[in-house]
Structures are given as structure tokens and as C-alpha cells.
Structure 1
Amino acid sequence: MRSLIPLFRSLFTDEDGPTAVEYAVLLAAILLAVIGTVGTLGSTSGGIWAENNQKLEDAGF
């Protein structure tokens, strides 16, 4: 029983675990934002390239 007391004390005073979780949540949020942005820009730029391609074909290039 005495060996459990220092273990619980270290769990409440050690801040490495919560810090790692905070960084993981922050990284997940950043990744979601990047994936959403790339997906949106990818579909938008694909439409622009298709439109430009069609205009070039219509012009005879």
C-alpha cells in the first residue's frame, strides 16, 4: 500500500501526460484544417484547369 501513495502523488503532480494530450489534440485540429483546405482548393483548382483546357480546345490549341 505504501508503494501506491508515491505513484498516485506522481500522477497528480506530473504534467507530461496532459501536455502530450494537448499537443495531440492541437495537431489533430491542425491536420483537419489542412486536409479541409487542400480538399477545397483541390476541387476548385481542378474546375479552373478544366475550364482553361476547354477554352484552349475551343480556340484550336
Structure 2
Amino acid sequence: MRKALTVFDQFRKDEDGAALIEYSVLLGIVLTAVVATITLVGTWVSGKWTALNTAL
């Protein structure tokens, strides 16, 4: 039982897990921004392409 408590105490003091979670959240935010940007640019290009085809 003492060994389990020691392992649990070491796990609680370890900050690598917290850093991993922080980087994961940051990666999620960046990916969301990239996907939103690509979607908006794609919509804009599609509108310009349609306008060009109509003009021709």
C-alpha cells in the first residue's frame, strides 16, 4: 500500500502531464484557426471564380 501511495504522490508532483495538456489545447486552437481560415479563403476564392465566369 505504501508503494502505491508513493507512486501516486510522484504522479501528482509530475508536471509533464500538465505541459502535455497545455500543448494539446494550444494545438487544438491553432488547428481550429487554420481550418477556419482555409474555409473562409476557399469561400472567397469560389465567389471570385464564379464572378469571373459570369463576366466572361
Shift of 1:5: 2.3
Unaligned runs of 5+ in 2: none
Higher helix proportion, which one? 2
* Paired residue total: 56
Shift of 1:54: 1.4
TM-score, normalisation: structure 2: 0.87
**SS at 1:34 equivalent:** helix
Unaligned runs of 5+ in 1: 57-61
User: Which structure's CA Rg is the greater one?
Assistant: 1
TM-score, normalisation: structure 1: 0.81
1:1-61 → structure 2 map (5 Å cutoff): 1-56=1-56
Query: Counterparts of 1:39 and 1:14 in 2: how far apart (Å)?
Result: 40
Question: Any runs of at least 4 consecutive aligned residues in structure 1 with deviations exceeding 4 A, and if so which?
Answer: none
Q: CA RMSD in A?
A: 1.0
Percent identity reads 38
